[in-house]
Structure 1
Amino acid sequence: MPRESFAIGSVRIRPGTTREVGLPITRLVTGSEVSLPVRVVHGRHDGPTIWVTAATHGDEVVGIEAVRRVLAALDPKAFRGTLVAVPIVNVLGFTAGDRYLPDRRDLNRSFPGSARGSLAARIAHLLMAEVISRGDVGIDLHTGAFGRTNLPQIRADLDDPRTLALAQAFGAPVILHARLRDGSLRAAARERGCAVLVYEGGEAWRFDEWAIEAAVAGVRRVLAALEMTDPVDEQPPSPSLISRQSSWVRARRTGILQLDAVLGQRVEAQERLGGLSDSFGKRLRLVHAAGPGVVIGRTTAPLVNRGDALVHIAVEEDGHDV
């Protein structure tokens, strides 16, 4: 028996086809309509439904390119199940060159939203109703905030066996156990029974190729693990390092930062990571690791104030890779 068509918005997508849909969000003062861009790959064969989202923060562009590359390689006639991709969730922030919405709200703290709430609440409600509620599995693609860069990593609930298995299938260098944040897309999706992976990699407003490649490879591996596509023809990635604890090394003085620590570097307690100097180069303070671990994030800012986050270090679970 052939699969049923997939309904989203006001359209239905036939099995074995791909279609782009614009879900209306709002109208600008000019009268122009702003829509949420969605592409649905509705496979000819039965399988799970997965959603992939990017640019929930308008300045996080790595995921936009990753979604494009994943979609370009999919054949709906051979695909098993359904993929719903939203490459730019925060359309207004992205077009304005801003992380947030015009009212300065953080969209990723506005879920599950409301049909009659603020602009952020309405966008969140639309995404939940039309995309998130349809999925069995979701992958939300992010980067570091402005002035920070992240090692490719998955953040997820590692106490859920299904989510852990998917995180390991993704194959990022690090898997970090992360608590749910109120108002986040991940928290709202979990409430609806969806297994969610949050990918972090690269820097805001940068097409960091290494972060894009890691995201594309990870999404493809998850699709293969769910048997939606054939197994990925590649050299298996190294086992991910699992961490349940991480912390930031913070500046103890205001100064110009010379940071030697690089992403993925293993460090020991009290290892030197860099230093702070004044404008004439006089050393003000050295920066040391508080404990052992792996560098999964770092600032890219040259000027830091006392208390600013400098280096994000994840502690290996039991001191072993898995």
Structure 2
Amino acid sequence: MPRPSFEIGTVRVRPGSEKSVTLPITRLVTGADVDLPIRVVHGKHDGPVVWVDAAIHGDEAVGVEVIRQVLAGLDPKTLRGTLIAIPIVNVLGFMTGSRYLPDRRDLNRSFPGSPRGSLAARIAHLMMEQVVAKCSVGIDLHTGSDRRSNLPQVRADLEDPETRRLAAAFASPVMLHAPLRDGSLRSAARERGAKVLLYEAGEAWRMDEWAIGAGVLGVRRVLAALGMTDPVAEDEPAPSTACHRSGWVRSRGTGMIHLDVELGRHVEKGERLGGLFDSFGKRVRLVHADRDGIVIGRTEAPVVNRGDAVVHIAEVTEVTEVTGPAEG
């Protein structure tokens, strides 16, 4: 018996086909409509329904390219299950390169939203009702913010066995156990019963190829681990480093910063990470690691003030092998 068509908005997508869908968000002062762009790949064969989204923050471009490349490699005639791709959630912010919506609200603090609330609440509600409610798994793609760059990493509930299996399958250099934040998509989706991975990599408003490549491979590996596609043809990926705690080293002074550590570097407590200098080149302060761990984020700002976050260090818990498809 063939799969039924997949319904989203007012559109029906036949099994073994894919279709672009637009869901209305708002109307501009010019009278032009603003829609949420979605691509549905409805596989010919039964399987899970999964979403992948990017640009919830409008200055995060890496995930948009990740989704483009993932979609280019999918064939609905061989796909087992359904993939819903939302490459740009914060459409208005993305058009101007702004992290936030025009009213300065953070969309990722507005879930689950409301059909009659603020613009952010309405977009959040639309995502929840038309996308999340139909899915069992989601992958939320992000980058660093505020002139920070992030090592490719998956943030998830590592205490949930299935979520941890999928995080390990993604095989990013680090998987970090991250508490849920009120108002986030991950928190609201969890309340609906979905398993969610949040991918962080690269810097805002940049197309970091290393972050894009790791994200494309990671999403493909998760789809394979869910049994939706065949395993990714590649050399055996390095296992993820599991971390359960992390923290930012903050500047103890003000000055021009020169960091000596790159993303992915393992450091020890007390190790020198860099230094602060005045405008004449005189060193005014050193920056030291406050814990053992791996550098998963760093500032890219040339000037820092006292108290600013400069290096993000995750404490290593264990190294986890890459996992394959679930049995059964």
Bin of the TM-score, shorter chain as denominator length = over 0.9
* Distance in structure 2 (CA, Å) of the matches to 1:177 and 1:269: 21
Question: For 1:229-267, what per-residue CA distance to the aligned partner results, in whole angstroms no more than 9, with x for missing partners?
Answer: 011111121110000000101000000001111000000
Cα distance in 1 between the residues matched to 2:68 and 2:210: 15
TM-superposed deviation, 1:291 = 1.4
**Alignment-mate amino acid for residue 139 of structure 1:** I
- 1:135-174 aligned at under 5 Å gives the runs 135-174=135-174
The CA deviation at 1:90 is 0.2
**Partner SS, residue 281 of structure 1:** coil
**Which residue is 2:92 aligned to?**
92
Whole-Å Cα distance in 2 between the matches of residues 134 and 284 of structure 1?
Answer: 55
Where in structure 1 are there 5+ consecutive unaligned residues?
A: none
- What amino acid is aligned across from residue 321 of structure 1 in structure 2? V
**Which segments of 5 or more consecutive residues in structure 2 lack a partner in the other structure?**
321-328
Alignment partner, residue 52 of structure 1:
52
Q: Could you say which residue in structure 2 is the equivalent of 1:73?
A: 73
State the partner residue of 2:279: 279
Q: Is residue 2:108 matched to residue 1:108?
A: yes
One-letter code aligned to 1:236: E
Match of 2:126 in 1: 126
Cα distance in structure 1, aligned partners of 2:26 and 2:166: 35
Counterpart for residue 257 of structure 2? 257
- Partner amino acid for 1:252? R
Give the Cα–Cα distance (whole angstroms) in 2 for the partners of residues 321 and 171 of structure 1.
11
What SS does structure 2 have at the residue aligned with 1:248?
A: strand
Which residue of structure 2 lines up, in the alignment, with residue 13 of structure 1? Answer: 13
TM-score by length of 1: 0.99
Alpha-carbon deviation of 1:167? 0.2
Amino acid paired to 1:110: S
Deviation per CA, 1:151-173: give whole Å up to 9, x if none.
00000001100100000000000
Output aligned runs, 1:159-198, within 5 Å: 159-198=159-198
Kindly provide the CA deviation profile for residues 122-163 of structure 1, in whole angstroms up to 9, marking residues without a partner as x: 000001000011111000000000300000000000110010
Counterpart-to-counterpart distance in 1, 2:126 and 2:136 = 18
Deviations 1:35-56 (CA, angstroms, capped at 9, x unpaired) = 0000000000000000000000
In the alignment, structure 1 residue 32 sits paired with structure 2 residue 28: no
Distance 1:234 1:17 in 2: 27
CA distance in 2, matches of 1:211, 1:112: 28
Distance in 2 of aligned mates of 1:151 and 1:9 = 36
**Cα distance, 1:97 vs structure 2:** 1.5
Deviation digits for residues 68-120 of structure 1 (CA, Å, limit 9, x no counterpart): 00000100000000000000000000012200000000000000000000000
Task: Verify: 1:238 aligned to 2:233, yes or no.
Answer: no
* d(CA) in 2 for partners of 1:291, 1:181: 24
Task: Quote the Cα distance in structure 1 between the aligned partners of 2:50 and 2:97.
Answer: 28
Paired positions, count: 320
Q: Distance in 1 between matches of 2:255 and 2:146?
A: 19
Separation in 2, partners of 1:28, 1:57: 20
2:325 maps to what in 1?
Answer: none
The residue identity in structure 1 corresponding to 2:241 is L
- Residue 319 of structure 2 aligns to a residue whose secondary structure is coil
- What's the % identity of the aligned pairs? 69
User: What residue identity is the alignment partner of 1:171?
Assistant: A
1:248 matched to 2:231: no
Answer yes or no: is 1:216 the counterpart of 2:190.
Answer: no
Structure 2: distance between partners of 1:190 and 1:253: 40
Is 1:321 matched with 2:306?
no
Following the alignment from structure 2 to structure 1, what is the Cα–Cα distance between the partners of residues 235 and 32?
48
